[in-house]
Structure 1
Amino acid sequence: MADSTPLLSHSDSAHSITQCLEKHLPSLDSTIERCIGDFGWTQFLQASLVSFAWVFDAQQTFISVFTDAEPTWHCTRLGDESCNSVSNICHLPKNSWAWDWPIHTSIVSEWALECSGALITGLPASSFFMGCLAGGLVLATLADSSLGRKNMLFLSCLLMSIAGILTVFSTNIWIYSALRFVTGFGRGTIGTCALVLSTELVGKRWRGQVGVMGFFCFTLGFLSLPAIAYLNRGSSWRNIYLWTSIPTIFYCLLVHLLVRESPRWLFVQGRKEDALATLKSISNSTCHSDSGSGGGLSYSFSGVSIGQEAWNDDIYSAIKILLEKRWALRRLSAVMMTGFGIGIVYYGMPLGLGNLSFNLYLSVTLNALSELPASLVTFFLIGRLNRRSAILVFSILSAVCSIMCVVMGNVWTGLQIGLELVSFFSACTAFNVLLIYTIELFPTCVRNSAVSMLRQALVLGGVFSPVLVAAGRKKGFLTYGVFGIVIGFCGLFVAFLPETKGGTLCDTMDEEEEKERANLQWA
């Protein structure tokens, strides 16, 4: 972090446009930059604490890999030729086989679901993702309207953790599925709020890097699950929920006590005094008056006239304005279509590993680890990457490798898993860039809602992935072939979006429209 080179560099035209706008229209973004542009320890700690929410987000997303898994079993009667490792236990007498671990290690063994249909055994996971969709739609706009980023992050984490603890007391698959739905409902906005809040607490020089911090935390949460499951091997599946949910409660307390609200959101809501107090606590010393009274800080914003916009009169105003403004709807539709294609691959690739001729456990581990280089690439190159070009290149690369994965499957197994890993890595990188790109495309007043809609599109892609994976067990092209076609086609929609590299963050719809008109004049 000692490097002083701006990571979101300006082109000459972007710099001229910014100067033109600042000359005629007081910019909240440029004024805030003078206070928080220099990245300090306070901002680092704030951004790190907020980004850590992604750890718990990832744990609840992938926890069913261990709690809902079907345990291994063995034959109990020696000399019974009808019982062997390839037998279907549903066709065997109950006294001829037994689970390798105690029955309470999984919901499948505890509730005797081994012979239930895929619809029943997959119900908890499906309920979780349906809860994510519902939570994202219902709660996302609250972060832009009445609650704000911090309060929404706190309440979402709290709801998710409480539902996780209550899951421990489930007595059957139906109660368990209902509580997984509630868990997903709370989880639906955590990643969005954490990403938006952390990037709004720092200057544009560090916006990309702070956004990537959340991706690292998500990977950390994903990788922590095998360790937690290993430490609890042989114990009840309920212990894993306790190990992941109780720490989330303590995290919620830290968020409530230590995290500051986004100063941008406070200004947009007309809460200038609260915004100034936040800036004073996280800004560098050069933004304060010599007396330390904060008068210099207040003077810096005396020429900025901004308050709650007239259209923002209820909790769903952000969604309404996104749909009513033609330019906003065009941008939202493009990022959602791209997110849907990436979601198909992001959730589908790990689920479809069982269809490949490769060791399942090793391939799952490699897929989880491949998110780390994807985050590193985004972290170090986000300042140099054109957003549109990067997303397009990584989407096409993922598409080509996914399709080639099917073709090479009958030729070389080692090459097949290599192509699958490149495809998954490319999809992860494309999604990381797309999240930061969406933050830059939309102003503060609707930013959280826009990012939430993008994440909804990603989850919706995940809903279709299991269907394609099941169909691909007989015809391989229906899994990885379709994955490649969808992400390749959906990635083309970024061509309809403006480039944002090196640009400033707008705070109101009017400011964004003024900026777009200026871009058209300079084009």
Structure 2
Amino acid sequence: MADDTPLLSDHQPPPTAAPGEKPLRTMDSMIELCIGEFGRAQFAQAALVSLSWFFDAQQTFISVFTDSEPLWHCTDPARCTPGAADLCGIPDGSWSWDENTVGRHTSVVSEWGLQCATPFIRGLPASSFFAGCLLGGLILATLADSSLGRRNLLFHTCFGMAITSLLTAFSTSIWAYAALRFMCGFGRAAIGTCALVLSTELVGRRWRGPVGMVGFILFSLGFLSLPAIAYANRGGSWRVLYLWTSVPTLFYCVLVYFFVYESPRWLFVKGRKEEAIQTLKSIAPPEKHSRLTSSFFSSAPFLGNDFDPSAADVDIFSAMKLLLARRWALLRLSAVMVVSFGTGMVYYGMPLGLANLSFNLYLGVASNALSEIPSALAALLFIAKLSRRLSLLAMTTVSAVFSALCILRGEPWGRLQMWFELVSFFGGCTALNMLLIYTLELFPTCVRNSAVSMVRQALVLGGAFSPFLVAAGRTSGGALSYGVFGAVIGCCGLFVVCLPETRGGTISDTMEEEELKMMGRSRMSGVATLA
């Protein structure tokens, strides 16, 4: 029976000091001693940072509506067959789009005549977005751990996403549109990573799980806002959707610039102790300000006093070098990236493939978005009560099985198809939420943002293949795409067994601290841990 140990509770002892000295405090315990686990200022900071997920979700899934094939009807029954699967076989002039008018198109498909284009052309804008996410993630991944920090990178990525999304509304061709979607993906590549890491580093151990889930829920709400916006704009231009989602993001960037603080953990690791103390003072309740001095931190038996700023500030790729130089870190990173790849194919591909299934697109997208909220709550329950590895394995298996069931045709399977898709998407969402929290626990502060970013890039890589699979599966009613989705997430999910269990442990700040913990676990268990 699972016990009630909260996320990242302090079951493991901190690294020991030399004989005769006081035990060294971890940065977790020092920050909690100074500002508490979760106060009003911490809540405000975490909520403001997590709000970026809302706008990120809108740009991630907006192509479900802007790039879909609109409804059409026959205008010449003698030459047109209603309900035909392929418009290319119907003579021009015998049919018309339902909601389009002169000079106004509800989709890029109708505006630029892409109904007969190849799967590559039709999937190009969405895949360009994911390709931009990949490149942006690789280039921007380590900036939050090295030179820019979490807060500055969050601002720049949100601003870049907002500007390119605004410009997308003025695209003049499918090629310009795809190029701007690529730039938008590049701009937003680090938003989720920065938001997750920054929000969880501002609170105590027991609150990291709930705070991380706040971001996931806001992402779900952002996803859910899309069918509402699209339904309100039905019959209007697809360009309006980009205007309605980009302008509020620009206002959010202003809030981030003026009101969000940098992570005190990152500042300590970078040797910027005075800035870290000032940040803690801004967050701490007034009665604790008196102890927040340089002399207090210098005299305390505190692991942060041993950080070497010169070693922590080599170059922008220093965090990746640390991850690749140590075998245990490389093995962990490889395993979580494989799991993330399979999860990404389901998470991004299923909403894009809804137009291929036999139910209303608005209702289907809204149902998928709504399912993300209980999936976030389920993930929170699982990480608080159950093993990380077993929970992830169970959710990826559930997603694989029900995705495969979506390919079944005829009665009664056709009527159950919507439920199969929802259960599979729910399993993929829950697995993704748990995987991101799990990744936070697997890697220390000095490389955490880079590790989470690489996991998200693997997620996006899985998503980059999805638009082509969805386009290719249109003639088969989604059978091809959903069958592949299920096979990939099922196989990739098996790699979770290669990872160490982190439930009930503290998180480390340096690679050396993590290695000391690994040695301690090995001595206690009598066997070496695969790490």
The TM-score with structure 2 as length reference comes to: 0.89
Code of the residue aligned with 2:96 in structure 1: it is: A
Q: Partner of 1:18: helix, strand, or coil?
A: coil
The match for 1:489 is: 491
Match of 1:18 among 9, 14, 17: 14
Q: Distance in 1 between matches of 2:409 and 2:373?
A: 26
- The Cα of 1:192 is off from its aligned counterpart by 0.6
Q: Distance in 1 between matches of 2:464 and 2:219?
A: 20
Q: Partner of 1:74: helix, strand, or coil?
A: strand
> Contact 2:388 / 2:434 at 8 angstroms: preserved in 1?
yes
Aligned length: 512
> Contact 2:55 / 2:222 at 8 angstroms: preserved in 1?
yes
The match for 1:83 is: 80
- Flag the 1:122–1:295 CA change in 2: closer, same or farther, 3 A: closer
Q: Partner of 2:261: helix, strand, or coil?
A: coil
CA displacement 1:216-262 (0-9 Å, x = unmatched)? 11111111111222222333222211111111111111001000000
- The Cα of 1:417 is off from its aligned counterpart by 3.1
- Flag the 1:458–1:308 CA change in 2: closer, same or farther, 3 A: same
Q: Does 1:319 align with 2:315?
A: no
> Contact 2:403 / 2:485 at 8 angstroms: preserved in 1?
yes
- The Cα of 1:175 is off from its aligned counterpart by 1.2
Q: Distance in 1 between matches of 2:283 and 2:322?
A: 31
- The Cα of 1:385 is off from its aligned counterpart by 2.7
Q: Partner of 2:203: helix, strand, or coil?
A: coil
Q: Partner of 1:382: helix, strand, or coil?
A: helix
Q: Distance in 2 between matches of 1:111 and 1:311?
A: 51
Moved more, 215-224 or 166-175: 166-175
- The Cα of 1:76 is off from its aligned counterpart by 3.8
Q: Distance in 1 between matches of 2:17 and 2:80?
A: 77
> Contact 1:9 / 1:384 at 8 angstroms: preserved in 2?
no
The match for 1:166 is: 167
Q: Distance in 1 between matches of 2:26 and 2:152?
A: 26
Match of 1:98 among 82, 96, 99: 96
- Flag the 1:410–1:307 CA change in 2: closer, same or farther, 3 A: farther
Q: Distance in 1 between matches of 2:426 and 2:477?
A: 24
Q: Distance in 1 between matches of 2:339 and 2:396?
A: 9
Q: Partner of 1:171: helix, strand, or coil?
A: coil
The match for 2:212 is: 211
The match for 2:529 is: none
Q: Does 1:447 align with 2:456?
A: no
- The Cα of 1:109 is off from its aligned counterpart by 2.4
Code of the residue aligned with 2:148 in structure 1: it is: L
Q: Distance in 1 between matches of 2:74 and 2:408?
A: 38
> Contact 1:266 / 1:272 at 8 angstroms: preserved in 2?
yes
- The Cα of 1:469 is off from its aligned counterpart by 4.0
The match for 1:54 is: 53
CA displacement 1:179-204 (0-9 Å, x = unmatched)? 11100001111111110100011111
- The Cα of 1:96 is off from its aligned counterpart by 3.7
> Contact 2:162 / 2:246 at 8 angstroms: preserved in 1?
yes
- Flag the 1:408–1:397 CA change in 2: closer, same or farther, 3 A: farther
Q: Distance in 1 between matches of 2:453 and 2:277?
A: 27
Instruction: Report matched runs for 1:144-163 at 5 Å.
Output: 144-163=145-164
CA displacement 1:389-417 (0-9 Å, x = unmatched)? 21112122222333344458665333443
The match for 1:275 is: 276
The match for 2:389 is: 388
> Contact 1:105 / 1:233 at 8 angstroms: preserved in 2?
yes
Moved more, 127-136 or 506-515: 506-515
The match for 1:66 is: 65
The match for 2:116 is: 115
Moved more, 87-96 or 428-437: 87-96
Q: Distance in 2 between matches of 1:485 and 1:98?
A: 38
> Contact 2:262 / 2:279 at 8 angstroms: preserved in 1?
yes
- Flag the 1:164–1:99 CA change in 2: closer, same or farther, 3 A: same
> Contact 1:38 / 1:284 at 8 angstroms: preserved in 2?
no
Code of the residue aligned with 1:177 in structure 2: it is: A
Q: Partner of 2:290: helix, strand, or coil?
A: coil
CA displacement 1:339-395 (0-9 Å, x = unmatched)? 111112212333344554555554333222211110121234432232112111212
- Flag the 1:295–1:19 CA change in 2: closer, same or farther, 3 A: closer
Match of 1:509 among 511, 515, 518: 511
- Flag the 1:72–1:418 CA change in 2: closer, same or farther, 3 A: closer
> Contact 1:342 / 1:458 at 8 angstroms: preserved in 2?
yes
Q: Does 1:223 align with 2:219?
A: no
Instruction: Report matched runs for 1:236-275 at 5 Å.
Output: 236-275=237-276
- The Cα of 1:288 is off from its aligned counterpart by 3.0
- The Cα of 1:173 is off from its aligned counterpart by 1.3
Q: Does 1:427 align with 2:428?
A: yes
CA displacement 1:485-511 (0-9 Å, x = unmatched)? 322222222222222122222111111
CA RMSD of aligned residues (A): 2.6
Q: Distance in 2 between matches of 1:466 and 1:176?
A: 16
CA displacement 1:3-33 (0-9 Å, x = unmatched)? xx973264xxx63533747965442222122
Q: Partner of 2:311: helix, strand, or coil?
A: coil
Q: Distance in 1 between matches of 2:90 and 2:182?
A: 34
> Contact 1:135 / 1:186 at 8 angstroms: preserved in 2?
yes
> Contact 2:64 / 2:351 at 8 angstroms: preserved in 1?
no
> Contact 1:141 / 1:318 at 8 angstroms: preserved in 2?
yes
Q: Distance in 2 between matches of 1:74 and 1:405?
A: 27
Q: Distance in 2 between matches of 1:409 and 1:396?
A: 25
Code of the residue aligned with 2:482 in structure 1: it is: Y
CA displacement 1:39-68 (0-9 Å, x = unmatched)? 111111100000000111110011112222
Code of the residue aligned with 1:41 in structure 2: it is: R
- The Cα of 1:424 is off from its aligned counterpart by 1.6
**Identity across matched positions, percent:** 61
CA displacement 1:463-502 (0-9 Å, x = unmatched)? 2234444555549764334333322222222222222122
Q: Does 1:462 align with 2:463?
A: yes
> Contact 2:81 / 2:90 at 8 angstroms: preserved in 1?
no
Code of the residue aligned with 1:50 in structure 2: it is: V
Code of the residue aligned with 2:512 in structure 1: it is: D
Q: Distance in 1 between matches of 2:374 and 2:294?
A: 45
The match for 1:202 is: 203
